[in-house]
Structures are given as C-alpha cells and as structure tokens.
Amino acid sequence: MRPRKLLSLLLCQLLLTGPALAQVIPIASGPQCVQPDPRLDARKSLFVTEVDVVQNAVSLEEILRRLTRESQIPGLRPIDLWQQWWDTQNLSPGLGMGVHCDSVTNAQGDPTLNGFPIECPRSEGSEVAVDPFDPGLPSFYEPIALVNRMDLMPEDGSNCGEFRIIFARHSGAQQRLRRNLVIFEAVLPNPNPGCETGGCRAIADFWAELSSIDDPGIRAARLRGFFLNGLPREGVEPVIKIGHFAPGAGQIRTNQFLNSNGNSVVWQLREYKLVQFCASAQATCSLQFMPVSVKTNPWGELFDETPMDIQKRLFMRHFLTQVESLAEPNLNAFFNEISNRFNAGQSNSQGAENDYVSHFDPSGRFAQRIDLQLRRIGSDLDPIDIIRRSQTQSCAGCHQLSNQAPANLLGDGLVWPPSLGFVHVTEDETEQIGGRDHFKISEALKRSFIPHRKQVFETYLAENPCEDCFTPLASSGDSSTPILEVDLASDGFTPRPPSSDEIEALDALLKEGRSMKTLGGSRLAH
C-alpha cells in the first residue's frame, strides 16, 4: 500500500476520533485512592479463574452484542460478527462477509499473510455454522479467565495496559481433540494522561479492592461492570469497545485445535484486529475481525541459512541487535523485539515450522555472529541458548515447544516453566483454592508470570500515592468509534475494504515512536 493511502486512512481515523478526545470534564482532583491490601490475592486481583466469578461476569454473546451495538450498523447481529470472524479461515467466496484465508496469495498461488505461508483452510472455519451462545451445546464458548495486565502499561502512562477475557469452546471440557480458545485483549486508554502512570490509579484500585471481597457474586458483578461499563465516575471507558481492539490498540487471539470430519490439525495460534470501516462516504459501513500477523513470532525458516536470501539476511541482521536483551539472566526479563516484517500469520505449537532450534545451524555463520555479540557483552551463553530464548517468546514456544526444557537449557541456570500442554489456563480441569473451584492454570503462570505481575502491581500501588492531579479527564461516554474510510476510486480502482496487510501497516504506523518499555519490563509477550 502506498504511504499516501495509508496516511489518508490514519488521518480519517484521527479526524473521526479527534472531537471526542477534545470533550473533557474538569475535575478538582485525581481518583480517590485506597491503600494497597498487604494481602493482595493474585487470583482475585490479577488472574481470575474462579468458576463462580468468571461464569457470571461476561458472556461472549454480550461482548459481541456490545460491539455490534456500538458500531451502529443497521441489522448487524452478534452471530453475524461471529460468522464473519471464522469465515476468515475458509476459502473464498465463503459467506461473502469479508476477507478469507486465500484473499492474498504468493506468486505460486499459495495463501499468505504478511508475506508468509498460512494454512488455508482450517477446520475452525466450520464454526460459521454453530451457535456459540447456547450453554446447552458443545459449541458454547464459556469464559474461563478474566485477566488484569496493568504490568503492560507503558512507563509514560500512554495507556493503562491490557485487560483480557479468555473463552473456551465447551466441547474441549470432554473431548481433547475438539478444543478452541479465544482471548479478547483490550488496551485501555489512560483516563487522565496528564498524570502519566498515576492517571490509571482508579483502575488499579478497582482491581486491588477485589482481594478484600470474599463473596464471588459481588466480585462477578463488579468485574461485569468494569468490562461492560468501565468506571464512569473516574472517566474510565468500558473494556469492551471497538477501538480497544483496533489498529494501534489491542487484539484478539485464538488458540485452535478443532479436529472435525476425521481431519487432524495441529495446535495453531492466530491474531486479529477489530476494524470498522466504510468503503466510501456513501457506502454502508462494516465491522470485521481482520487477521494479522502473530506478534513476536518470526517465520521459522528465517533462522535457516540454507539457502540464504535477502529476507533471511535482513532478519539475521535485525536479530543480532536483540542478542543483548535475550542474554538477560532473568526469566522474566529477557526478550526480543521482532520487526513486524518478519512475523508470520500463524504460530504452530506442533511440528517444525515454529521450532527455531530445528532451523538453526549451531556451527553456521549466523551462530558465529551471535557468538561474537555474546562475547562483546561478556556473556557466557552459547548461540543456541539465544535461539531457545527467542523461541520461548513466540506463541508456540511459550505454549508448547519450550515445555520439555531440561535444566539449564536456556543458560544461566534458567529453566522455562511448562504450560498445560498447549494452554496456560484450561477448560477441562479445575483445582480447589480456598475451598472454591478455579479453572486450572499452568506452572508457568503459578511459578513465574503471576508472581512477577503481582510484584509489578504492588510496586505501582506503592509508588503512585493518593495526590491531587489537576488535569482534564476525558469523557468515557461520548468517545467515537475509530472508523477507517477507504476510497480508492480516485485512483481508478473500485472502492474496496482494507486488506490485512494494510491494517497491519496502519497498526505499525499508529504504534510508531511508542515506548516499548512497560512497568513490567520490555517483554510484551505472555
């Protein structure tokens, strides 16, 4: 896509959202704070899987209904949005509701996304024909976790981090080969950006107070209000808004293993943006799930030197700039930033595609250049340690491929903690915590990720005291939905919706210059 067209998309989005951002409500002081509970319960305030809470908080149908209502598109129903989403994994023309997995192909006619091959079609495309909203059906998608990721808040407080809802197909509770999970990951705007990170204090207080509430019914009601209505008195927007999953904001991810009709599929993770657009000023608008690349997930063959091509050369040159950050001697600190031009459109938790180690030659020239970087920074790690660490940052690596790590596999005595096979929270098993049923979570979450997030959250509460903040508070009730207007008729083309690659480019442009360092560190994965 030409830069001029991409810029016009961006300008249209900014023009449509600008007036809403200008509407402010003067306030005399910042949010009313509470002192952090010294007994902060991470399973109530950070990673909520208590069955009686999550299953009475928010349903998938309510989320899709809220999104369709916000779009103001006449006649759009939750089931329409659901069908369009999964039709992206079918061959064209499918239901004719949007893009399909073969909408973009390479010179050989093979389907691609972001320039890399994708599996097309997938059996999950059959979800267009099911009812995901009926609790009495195997196709029902039940909520299994509500997640506070304030540790992903940028250090400048440009947003308040991510807030997530995980759903699992009910069939997976009994049938190990009929599983499908989806996760809505909303980036929540800072209601008081002039206060920087302190502007998110009211959100932190909301989650911290959940630790002191014993009644699961009360906690469920409060979480329901937070996700669907926000915190109106503090100017905090609802989590569920189109713009919070749009380019430049959050995303929706899937973890797929839905075998059907005798077909065997591999565990695969994918990623989507929610996009509302109009093909022209006069056309009917559309709201769609648009497939995009899976972040921090370079195509596996980029690690393979044979044969060498320009794309691999560029990737390896970029990867060498990440060696120092990958060499950090802390399980929660090492990371790599992967330029999106190298990210694939799928992440396979089985097979060799995402097994970076299998593509890497430990005696090749690439390994030698990694070794030079390690010696330069005084590290005793081997090049293979760096590749294994990079693999843990990919979806497939974190979910399955790094599970069998023996002692010191990552160097520095670090051992990657395991998932529950292919997931980190499961729909098919519960565990008792304090006498109540919780959907079971992985050892990686228990031993590593959640303790780190708890420490970050408690530090935030301690370092952002209750104090006046004389800044305007953005109104949460009147903000407009970001709408992309695409009109290529002036170039002699028929007006059409944006492609996945164009949405990808817009997402990157909107995030350009944003600080990658968060309260929890520079790692954005997991």
Question: What is the rounded average pLDDT for all residues in the chain?
Answer: 88
| Helix, strand, or coil (residue 85) | helix
Q: What is the pTM of this model?
A: 0.91
pLDDT of residue 193: 93
Mean pLDDT, residues 154-162 taken together = 95
pLDDT greater than 60 at residue 457: yes
pLDDT greater than 90 at residue 161: yes
94 compared with 27, residue with greater pLDDT: 94
pLDDT greater than 80 at residue 225: yes
What is the per-residue DSSP string for 113-155? ETTEE---S-GGGGGGGS-SS-TTSTT-EEEEEEEEEGGGSBT
355 compared with 17, residue with greater pLDDT: 355
pLDDT greater than 60 at residue 490: no
| Helix, strand, or coil (residue 471) | coil
| Distant-in-sequence, close-in-space partners of 259: CB < 8 Å, separation ≥ 6 | 123, 177, 178, 265
Q: Which one, of 178, 165, 171, lies nearest residue 140 by Cα?
A: 171
**Strand (E) or helix (H) holding 19:** helix 3-22
Q: Which amino acid would we find at residue 473?
A: L
Q: How far apart are CA 12 and CA 251, in angstroms?
A: 21
Distance of CA 199 to the CA centre of its chain: 23
Give the least confident one: 44-48, 153-157, 268-272. Answer: 153-157
**Distance (Å) of CA 252 to CA 86, 184, 205, 394:** 13, 5, 26, 16
Q: Cβ(186)–Cβ(226) under 8 Å?
A: no
Q: Which residues pair with 143 in a beta bridge?
A: 167
Res. 511 pLDDT band, cuts 50 70 90: confident
pLDDT of residue 524: 64
The one-character DSSP state at 515 is -
| Distant-in-sequence, close-in-space partners of 9: CB < 8 Å, separation ≥ 6 | 484, 485, 486, 498, 502, 506
Digit-coded pLDDT (tens) for 230-280: 999 999 999 999 999 999 999 999 999 999 766 789 999 999 999 998 866
Pairing assessment for the beta strands 178-189 and 251-258 based on DSSP bridges: antiparallel
Both structure tokens of 92:
């064209």
pLDDT of residue 501: 87
Determine what percent of the chain is predicted with pLDDT higher than 90.
76
168 compared with 277, residue with greater pLDDT: 168
Q: How far apart are CA 370 and CA 102, in angstroms?
A: 37
What is the per-residue DSSP string for 278-291? ESSTTSPEEEEEEE
Q: Which amino acid would we find at residue 329?
A: P
Digit-coded pLDDT (tens) for 396-410: 999 999 987 666 689
465 compared with 393, residue with greater pLDDT: 393
Q: Which one, of 292, 287, 291, 285, lies nearest residue 485 by Cα?
A: 285
pLDDT of residue 13: 45
Digit-coded pLDDT (tens) for 412-447: 999 899 999 999 999 999 999 999 999 999 999 999
Mean pLDDT, residues 129-133 taken together = 98
Digit-coded pLDDT (tens) for 282-299: 567 899 999 999 999 999
488 compared with 59, residue with greater pLDDT: 59
Neighbours of 478 (CB within 10 A): 9
| Helix, strand, or coil (residue 292) | strand
| Distant-in-sequence, close-in-space partners of 11: CB < 8 Å, separation ≥ 6 | none
The one-character DSSP state at 362 is T
Res. 320 pLDDT band, cuts 50 70 90: very high
Q: Cβ(143)–Cβ(57) under 8 Å?
A: yes
End-to-end CA distance of the chain: 31
The one-character DSSP state at 32 is P
